[in-house]
Amino acid sequence: MDVLVTGGAGFIGSHLVKQLLRADDVTKVTVLDAITYAGHIENLRDELHSPRMTFVKGTILDKELVDYYVQRCQAIVHLAAESHVDRSFFEAGTFVMTNVLGTQIVLDSAQRFGIERFVHVSTDEVYGPLPSGAATENDPLRPTVPYAASKAASDLIALSYHQTFGVPVCVTRSSNNYGPCQHAEKIIPRFVTNLLTGEPVTLHGQGEHIRNWLYVEDNCRALELVLREGVPGEIYNIGGGTDLTNRELTGLLLAECGADWDAVRHVPDRRSNDVRYAMDWSKLRALGWEPQRTLEEGLAETVRWYRDNPDRRPPVRRDPAAPTAEVAITAPVGA
Ligand SMILES: NC(=O)c1ccc[n+]([C@@H]2O[C@H](COP(=O)([O-])OP(=O)(O)OC[C@H]3O[C@@H](n4cnc5c(N)ncnc54)[C@H](O)[C@@H]3O)[C@@H](O)[C@H]2O)c1
């Protein structure tokens, strides 16, 4: 099986590429990645030497380029996306372009070249906040932020290509991933890299928001399972990590990095910060998947990786006006 992985130089994509290259029946992995600020070719440093690996720097918005590589593979795992919620507050257009239009371009090519397997990688955030209970795959989509709305739109486009054209699409929706190689804009690497260098971290509100944390390799095993055994047209929730408030997560990271609560600054909650996500993932469990890594093991491994790879802490722009070392993006908070 020749597999095209879009976004394969990003956080989850690069772990998936490593995993696919370990499978004997994967004859070739082609990564198509634009290497935006979030993509890192170093994530694939070892894999680039594999004769079964091809890396292409390019955008999924380039139809000719997409066609060229799609017609040379049998399967696609589509991860390329703008992935950071906070950025979507002031760059929503880029999210719509990449996540919605880009997905449609890959799907269109997949349809024309008769792709045999297509996994569209999405998120639990499309279900919106759930004060209680757990979302099943049939629940309505109620995204509250532009990132999640763009992912929800792309899910619907993907499923429509199955209904209308018979493209063998499976959609996966996973909870928050963590692990090595994640961009420092996301909460765990941001906190870890700050704490390891003695800088403070910022907690939104009282840190009461609840997220489910899944080790990235567990997610990648689920993605490969869906790639191989998923039923076209079906959606698979990938949950099963550990539910934590951000305050609880902060406590664990402080302990793991040898810091204490003096390192924590409280800042006002960000806009539209969904209080809780939760999913029912029994459908995936029925395919035989269970997460394997405990939170304790996964966090220890993550912190060890950032400690061992100081040069791999991605460059981040700090807001000079910010009183703390929280990562700023490109617009002032509250813009
Ligand atoms: N990280 C999570 O917790 C999480 C959870 C659920 C779902 N997801 C989804 O999984 C996928 C991967 O997430 P991630 O955390 O690895 O994101 P990431 O931001 O680390 O990686 C995204 C990759 O896509 C590439 N990319 C962006 N625009 C592109 C374009 N136009 N053409 C080609 N490549 C482009 C980037 O260069 C980067 O390498 C995304 O679709 C995201 O929505 C992520």
Tokens for 112, please give them: 């024309």
Q: Is the CB of 9 under 6 A from ligand 1?
A: yes
Mutation pick for ligand 1 pocket among 60, 83, 126, 183 (CB with most ligand atoms within 8 Å)? 83
**Is the pLDDT higher at 31 or at 327?**
31
Task: Give the span between the Cα atoms of 331 and 318, in whole angstroms.
Answer: 11
In a domain, 226, yes or no: yes
Within 10 angstroms of residue 218's Cβ, the number of other Cβ atoms is 22
**Is the pLDDT higher at 97 or at 86?**
97
Supply the pLDDT for residue 241.
Answer: 83
In a domain, 185, yes or no: no
In a domain, 52, yes or no: yes
Task: Give the span between the Cα atoms of 221 and 180, in whole angstroms.
Answer: 16
Percent of the chain past pLDDT 90, that is, above it, reads 83
In a domain, 69, yes or no: yes
Residue 125 among the catalytic residues? yes
Catalytic residue, chosen from 33, 86, 125, 224, is 125
* Amino acid symbol at 138: N
Task: Decide if pLDDT at 267 tops 90.
Answer: no
Task: Decide if pLDDT at 114 tops 90.
Answer: yes
Is 34 exposed, middle or buried (CB count within 10 Å of its CB: 0-12, 13-18, 19+)?
A: buried
Q: Per-residue pLDDT tens for 16-49?
A: 999 999 999 999 999 999 999 999 999 999 999 9
Exposure b/e, 191-201, CB count within 10 A at least 16 = b: bbbbbbeeebb
Supply the pLDDT for residue 208.
Answer: 87
Task: Give the span between the Cα atoms of 246 and 243, in whole angstroms.
Answer: 10
Q: Per-residue pLDDT tens for 296-311?
A: 999 999 999 999 998 7
Residue 147 among the catalytic residues? yes
Q: Once rounded to an integer, what is the mean pLDDT over residues 266-295?
A: 89
For residue 136, what are the domain limits?
A: 2-180+214-241+273-292
**Is the pLDDT higher at 275 or at 52?**
52
In a domain, 79, yes or no: yes
* Amino acid symbol at 328: A
CATH of the domain at 68: 3.40.50.720
> What is residue 59's three-state secondary structure?
coil
Supply the pLDDT for residue 313.
Answer: 63
Residue with tokens 């260098």: 197
CB 236 within 8 A of CB 222: yes
Residue 124 among the catalytic residues? yes
pTM reported for the whole predicted model? 0.93
In a domain, 138, yes or no: yes
Q: Is the CB of 44 under 6 A from ligand 1?
A: no
Q: Per-residue pLDDT tens for 172-200?
A: 999 999 999 999 889 999 999 999 999 99
Instruction: State how far Cα 297 lies from the chain centre.
Output: 20
CB 48 within 8 A of CB 55: yes
Percent of the chain past pLDDT 70, that is, above it, reads 93
In a domain, 73, yes or no: yes
In a domain, 264, yes or no: no
Q: How many structural domains compose the chain? A: 1
Task: Tell me the pLDDT of the chain averaged across its residues.
Answer: 91
